[in-house]
Amino acid sequence: MKSRALGKSGLEVSALGLGCMGLSFGYGPATEKQQGIKLIREAYEQGVTFFDTAEVYGPFENEKLVGEALEPFRDKVVIATKFGFRDGDSKKEQDSRPERIRQVAEESLKRLRTDVIDLFYQHRVDPKVPMEDVAGTVKDLIKEGKVRHFGLSEAGVDSIRKAHAEYPVTALQSEYSLWWREPEKEIMPTLEELGIGFVPFSPLGKGFLTGKIDVDTKFSDNDFRNIVPRFSEENRKANKKLVDLLGEIALEKEATPAQIALAWLLAQKPWIAPIPGTTKSHRLTENIGAASIELNTGDLGKIEEALKGIEIVGDRYPSHLQKRVGK
């Protein structure tokens, strides 16, 4: 797989990474440990060198899984993890106090079985802690050799600028896909101006853009999508138009809807590296195949034109989680 540079930072990653969250958290029961290790190693064997985790995924279990899976080839991969919630629990409030950031770094290093975190994101902006203090703490960790690069997740333009002024931000990780294009308005121009890479999570719309989710799909009790307005039965029905469009383009390209959705993202900017997640080997191989699909100007124009007639319905987060993003 080709590699990409995340902005001007010098950090090179595979064009597609692997979002590891779903192996332990968020989308129903956790994957059995050995199966998770096998999937992560399969990703590496197929050219993926960029792996994303966080202390809150589990909590803590996902970092342990990623650490064990990648230990045999640790020096060949880039591992990203995150700080920013009290006690490592995403149900609790944000906590990016300098002492907490340091604590997370030390504990994540142990769980990941490594002596350095390649990319350390603030998971959500903490309104109680000045961004200068957050960036300054990560800067110190970088000087100490415990972290290589600083990142932000779901941050707004003001926070990105404040952080970058204190210490260069390597990457922003936020949701971006054919059914969530909000970052194109303000975020992406800012990233381009500052030379910051973009790591889209949920590039397949939390699975919806694969075409495998319909009105009748039932999610596990602990699946996050049960509380996402965009996944209500009514909204799934309305949003099917986008999946139908992807299906038509996929047929022409002899690809799958998921591959077209990922290829579209890769075609937007050379400093974008999406991190689709999966728990299944065949889906992993399918996603990786998207990296070799080239969408030309005509293809992209056709998609753009078709999208004008499609309105995506439903919020991407319930209101209590929406308050945490874009700060």
* Catalytic center residues: 57
Helix (H), strand (E) at residue 52? strand 50-52
SS (H, E, C) 241-291: HHHHHHHHHHHHHCCCHHHHHHHHHHHHCCCECCCCCCCCHHHHHHHHHHH
- Give the single-character DSSP code of 117: E
Q: How far, in Å, are 2, 98, 116 from residue 44 at the CA level?
A: 13, 34, 19
Q: How far is CA 77 from the centre of its chain?
A: 16
Q: 299-305: long-range contacts at Cβ-Cβ below 8 A with a sequence spacing of 24 or more?
A: 299/249, 299/253, 300/264, 300/267, 302/249, 303/178, 303/245, 303/249, 303/264
What is the SS3 assignment for 57-115? CCCCHHHHHHHHHHHHHHHHCEEEEEECEHHHCCCCCECCCHHHHHHHHHHHHHHCCCC
- Alpha-carbon distance of 121 to 152, in angstroms, equals 5
Q: Which token pair is 205?
A: 């719309």
